[in-house]
Amino acid sequence: MINMANIHKDQRVAVLVDVQNMYYSAKNLYDTKVNFKGLLRSAVANRELTRALSYVIKADTPDEDNFFEALRQIGFEVKIKELKEFYGGQKKGDWDMGMAIDAIKIADKVDTVVLVTGDGDFKSLVKHLQANGVRVEVMSFGKSTAKELKEACNKFLDMDEKKNKYLI
């Protein structure tokens, strides 16, 4: 009998986490927070972790620095971008381009990229990585994940199905 846990153990994996997307999905769906340690463990799934990147927005909120440090302690490289405030009070902060560029830059060093986001804007990135021989897995709460992203990836891990593992 084949042990499925060891089938991809030599696979090199990079995990890229859209922290804002995960934060708001968990908050809006379940009124709680994400267990990033459990998330990373599931994303790696007994394979060789090459890079774990988390993309955060610095909004000068209480305990923000403690949260960033907690991500580092788990094993994430934390990429920080300042929240932009525009004339009229509108605020914007996202990492879509940064995540895409990083994924493309590390694609030749890994076998699989795990994108932890539900944002459908990443469909083009998924297709590009696949065209270059990289397996792409998406991990997110299915209820808040774009259909086109689920359909484009090689594997979709629905965090809703084992929410106790991914929520605090």
pLDDT single digits (tens) 89-135:
665 667 899 999 999 999 999 999 999 999 999 999 999 999 999 99
State the pLDDT at residue 114.
98
State the pLDDT at residue 37.
97
**How many domains are there within the chain?**
1
Q: Which domain holds residue 87?
A: 4-166
Per-10-residue mean pLDDT of the chain, 168 residues long, equals 57 96 94 96 96 92 90 96 69 81 97 97 97 98 97 97 94
pTM, to two decimals? 0.91
State the pLDDT at residue 86.
59
Write the DSSP assignment of 33-49 as a string of letters: -B-HHHHHHHHHTTSEE
Q: What is the CATH number of the domain that holds 125?
A: 3.40.50.1010
For residue 7, CA distances in Å to 1, 40, 47 come to 12, 19, 9
Q: Are 114 and 134 in contact (CB under 8 A)?
A: no
Of 138, 149, 161, 159, the residue nearest 35 (C-alpha): 159
